[in-house]
A and B are shown apart, each in its own frame.
Chain A
């Protein structure tokens, strides 16, 4: 028996197999990390020289070969601001339900959970279609017929923000729910023991203790929303605008869309490339700084509740 085993262990086939089964995972991990590092370095290397104050503060000129991307940054920030105003309250309420009110096995709570998970998996382009079909064509048109106007039933900033807020809803819900669950049970018990009602407990004790969690959810949602292009392509993003948007029914410039159009439809692709790298780096830095902040806050929450 032992001999057989030894024989097996010394056969070249066994040797190769054991080397492969430890080597391949190591190789994949190293490859993956190097690939991502390369990706990051590529954008930093090509993009960093182009980021100047002029670039960040001026409008594009001369087919995007000169000037900056300020209108795109402005549009994106405006968009995600409205998006979080619309999405975060709903997401927080859903998270409160899931964490404080839901009974684990009830049909309703299970379907809410299923709804959230499904929403997280719907392709972003479908949200774009939804934005056109529901917000612009249905709600916008209804408002227009009711108020005798014509400004709402066309793609605009408010509808793009609404579409994105639906898209980022799962992000908010998951983050806030995690924060709510990290609030120690003793706090709730103490509040209830002092005679507070359920809602008083939630509003005065649980929510203040998970404010950072709500902040995390908002930041993550903004990071996600700022980078999504597919949903806003036909719900209000435009390639260039004469002036900055100042009302909710205006169209807007969007950084991701700007990059997309420059990359695929630019009349002078080679000359626009440096500025394009720079705008890509700005978008990346925006996304990463948001994600990093969120990760940092999360870490702090976890530490403080341990």
Chain B
């Protein structure tokens, strides 16, 4: 399809051409370099947390109030209570007490990081990322449950059933949604979706109980857990609200990419299926969708990546309380939202700051892996599959 490089092939050697070509090559390598730089510098700012070289972690200013130098005790598995301990948004002055020897220090830091309470401001800061991970997982899951079926079905409609003029309405409309800045979507959740979800869930409480009963009947031993997951709480902000907001952000991605994949399936597939007597809908669901599956999977993966790393919506609509709870109607706090709300207020260079950058590494790695998966596996598979067609 593209043969520019062939066109240029036979050219004489010229110094000026050579210099220009290498300048352009160098500039082109910028995006690769930036990827490395992102990794290196986020890593650097996380203060060597990974290799346990936590000696440098000692905060520059240690407050004199801290006289009781207790060794780090194991964090109790208590659930963070939003009513009593709202995370105060004040500049952090008090630094954590770190025990004397560097080995046990780094060990206790790791123990702290993998514990289940996130309470970075206080006399004894707790950096347990478990609630953040659970929160991110819950919100991403809800957003996918909301966005995936909707956008894939709409993409199927758009690719196979819709007339041309209807398609010309649907596609630009979805692109309009893609143009919404995420802070606007977050604001929308804040002013409308919150109340809507609250009213609906209050109304639907009996239904949720029935669903929980049903699931616990299907899957034995899950009774208590599933009831705790699906019990409506009185919180206004929850992972459901945030999930709907993130879903709005994810819909354009999943829709556009899966629509592309679906309509790039060769026409001959459809014609063959119709000729064999299948209806349009059978063709769409049993022939075309399976053929485009890698592309659709890529779309969902990229959607996961977006939902996972989205900051503003999660910051505005999820309640931002790091609860250790599997209930989807409880407020949550995601990794990205934690970084977004706390990095601005933390003392640069402190342990808290390092840990926020550590969360950044997690986000970066997950997005990197998702991209590599779609790039190396799914796309190649797809292009190979249709090469002969």
Chain A contact residues, majority secondary structure: helix
- Known A26-B161, A288-B176, A291-B179; judge A263-B186 contact (CB<8 A): yes
B297 CB to closest chain A CB (Å) equals 15
Is B17 touching A133 in the complex (CB atoms < 8 A)? no
Is B5 touching A32 in the complex (CB atoms < 8 A)? no
Is A31 touching B45 in the complex (CB atoms < 8 A)? no
Bound Cα distance A75, B367 (Å): 30
Interface centre among A129, A138, A264 (most CB of B within 10 A): A129
Does chain B have a CB within 8 A of A116? yes
Q: For residue A33, which residues in chain B have a CB less than 8 angstroms away from its CB?
A: 169-170, 173
Query: Interface residues of A toward B: which range?
Result: 35 or more
- Known A118-B371, A121-B305; judge A260-B183 contact (CB<8 A): yes
- Known A133-B45, A166-B34; judge A124-B311 contact (CB<8 A): yes
Q: For residue A230, which residues in chain B have a CB less than 8 angstroms away from its CB?
A: 182, 311-312, 336, 340
Interface residues of A in 41-68 (CB under 8 A from B): 42-43
- Known A22-B161, A283-B184; judge A188-B30 contact (CB<8 A): no
Kindly supply a per-residue 1/0 record for chain B positions 1-43, scoring 1 wherever the CB is within 8 Å of any chain A CB and 0 otherwise: 0111101100100101100110111011111101101100110
B149 CB to closest chain A CB (Å) equals 7
Q: For residue A108, which residues in chain B have a CB less than 8 angstroms away from its CB?
A: 25, 29
User: What is the chain B residue whose CB lies nearest that of A256?
Assistant: B183
Bound Cα distance A301, B265 (Å): 26
Interface residues of A in 98-118 (CB under 8 A from B): 98-104, 108, 111-112, 114-118
User: What is the chain A residue whose CB lies nearest that of B356?
Assistant: A129
Is A234 touching B344 in the complex (CB atoms < 8 A)? yes
Q: For residue A126, which residues in chain B have a CB less than 8 angstroms away from its CB?
A: 38, 42, 309, 360, 363-364, 367
Kindly supply a per-residue 1/0 record for chain A positions 180-223, scoring 1 wherever the CB is within 8 Å of any chain B CB and 0 otherwise: 01000100110010000111000000000000000000000001
Kindly supply a per-residue 1/0 record for chain A positions 130-174, scoring 1 wherever the CB is within 8 Å of any chain B CB and 0 otherwise: 101110011000000000000000000000000000100110010
Does chain B have a CB within 8 A of A93? yes
Does chain B have a CB within 8 A of A94? yes
Does chain A have a CB within 8 A of B53? no
Does chain A have a CB within 8 A of B329? no
A249 CB to closest chain B CB (Å) equals 18
A27 CB to closest chain B CB (Å) equals 8
Interface residues of A in 213-250 (CB under 8 A from B): 223, 226-230, 233-234
User: What is the chain B residue whose CB lies nearest that of A98?
Assistant: B28
User: What is the chain A residue whose CB lies nearest that of B281?
Assistant: A21
Does chain A have a CB within 8 A of B212? no
Q: For residue A98, which residues in chain B have a CB less than 8 angstroms away from its CB?
A: 28
Is B156 touching A25 in the complex (CB atoms < 8 A)? yes
User: What is the chain B residue whose CB lies nearest that of A262?
Assistant: B187
Q: For residue A170, which residues in chain B have a CB less than 8 angstroms away from its CB?
A: 31
- Known A126-B38, A133-B357, A280-B184; judge A36-B177 contact (CB<8 A): yes
Q: For residue A276, which residues in chain B have a CB less than 8 angstroms away from its CB?
A: 187
Does chain B have a CB within 8 A of A128? yes
Contact of A287 among B170, B179, B306, B311 (CB under 8 A): B179
B44 CB to closest chain A CB (Å) equals 6
Is B170 touching A119 in the complex (CB atoms < 8 A)? no
Does chain A have a CB within 8 A of B377? no
Is B367 touching A263 in the complex (CB atoms < 8 A)? no
Bound Cα distance A263, B11 (Å): 60
Interface centre among B150, B162, B306 (most CB of A within 10 A): B150
Is B3 touching A185 in the complex (CB atoms < 8 A)? yes
Chain B contact residues, majority secondary structure: helix
- Known A100-B4, A125-B309; judge A229-B31 contact (CB<8 A): no
Is A125 touching B360 in the complex (CB atoms < 8 A)? yes
Does chain A have a CB within 8 A of B263? no
Q: For residue A295, which residues in chain B have a CB less than 8 angstroms away from its CB?
A: 172, 175
Does chain B have a CB within 8 A of A6? no
Interface centre among A111, A127, A130 (most CB of B within 10 A): A130
Interface centre among B32, B188, B343, B356 (most CB of A within 10 A): B32
B162 CB to closest chain A CB (Å) equals 7
Does chain A have a CB within 8 A of B229? no
A76 CB to closest chain B CB (Å) equals 11
Interface residues of B in 278-311 (CB under 8 A from A): 279-282, 284-285, 302, 305-306, 308-311
Write the residues of chain A forming the contact surface with B, with a CB cutoff of 8 angstroms: 18, 21-22, 24-29, 31-33, 35-37, 39-40, 42-43, 90, 93-94, 96-104, 108, 111-112, 114-119, 121-130, 132-134, 137-138, 166, 169-170, 173, 181, 185, 188-189, 192, 197-199, 223, 226-230, 233-234, 256-257, 259-260, 263-264, 273, 276, 280, 283-284, 287-288, 291, 295
Knowing that A94-B28, A169-B31 are A-B contacts, what are 7 other residue pairs whose CB atoms are under 8 Å apart, sorted by A's residue number?
A42-B188, A94-B27, A94-B30, A101-B28, A125-B339, A132-B348, A263-B316
Write the residues of chain B forming the contact surface with A, with a CB cutoff of 8 angstroms: 2-5, 7-8, 11, 14, 16-17, 20-21, 23-25, 27-32, 34-35, 37-38, 41-42, 44-45, 149-151, 153-154, 156-158, 160-162, 169-170, 172-177, 179-184, 186-188, 190-192, 248, 251, 255, 279-282, 284-285, 302, 305-306, 308-312, 315-316, 336, 339-340, 343-344, 348, 356-357, 360, 363-364, 367-368, 370-372, 375
